[in-house]
C-alpha cells in the first residue's frame, strides 16, 4: 500500500477511471488518486467494499471499518472494480 505515485504516473489522470460505470453489487477496491484534492482518509487505501448505490456522479460504498459497516460517498476515480456479482 504505497501512498505515493510512481515517477511515470505523476500528474496523470486516467480518464477511463474517471468516467467508469459501476453497478450496485460490484465489489471494488479503494485506490486513492493522490493528484486530486484529498477527500478520503488514507486509512482506506487498499480496502475493499461493496457498491450500495449512486449519488450524482459518485458511488455509495459500504466498507467494513473495524467491526462496523460504514457507508462512504466516493468518486469513481478512487475506485477499482474487482469483480461483479451476478443476480439470479
DSSP one-letter string for 46-86: T-EEEEEEEETTEEEEEEEETTEEEEEEE-GGGEEEEE-PP
Place of cell 500500500: 1
Q: Please check the confidence at residue 82 and state whether its pLDDT lies above 70.
A: yes
Tell me if 1 is assigned to some domain: no
Query: Band of the pLDDT at 65, cuts 50, 70, 90?
Result: confident
Res 1: pLDDT: 54
Give 16-52 pLDDT, tens digit per residue: 778 889 999 999 999 887 777 766 777 778 889 999 9
**What is the rounded average pLDDT for all residues in the chain?**
83
What's the structural domain count of the chain? 1
Res 3: pLDDT: 65
Is the separation of the CB atoms in 65 and 7 below 8 Å? no
Cell of 36: 486530486
**Range(s) of the domain holding residue 25:** 13-83
Tell me if 68 is assigned to some domain: yes
Read off the pTM. 0.78
Amino acid at each position: 500500500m504505497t501512498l505515493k505515485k510512481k515517477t511515470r504516473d505523476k500528474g496523470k489522470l486516467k480518464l477511463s477511471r474517471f468516467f467508469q460505470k459501476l453497478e450496485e453489487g460490484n465489489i471494488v477496491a479503494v485506490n486513492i488518486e493522490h493528484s486530486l484534492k484529498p477527500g478520503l482518509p488514507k486509512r482506506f487505501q487498499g480496502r475493499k467494499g461493496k457498491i450500495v448505490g449512486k449519488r450524482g456522479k459518485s458511488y455509495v460504498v459500504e466498507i467494513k471499518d473495524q467491526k462496523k459497516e460504514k457507508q462512504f460517498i466516493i468518486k469513481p476515480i478512487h475506485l477499482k472494480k474487482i469483480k461483479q456479482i451476478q443476480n439470479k
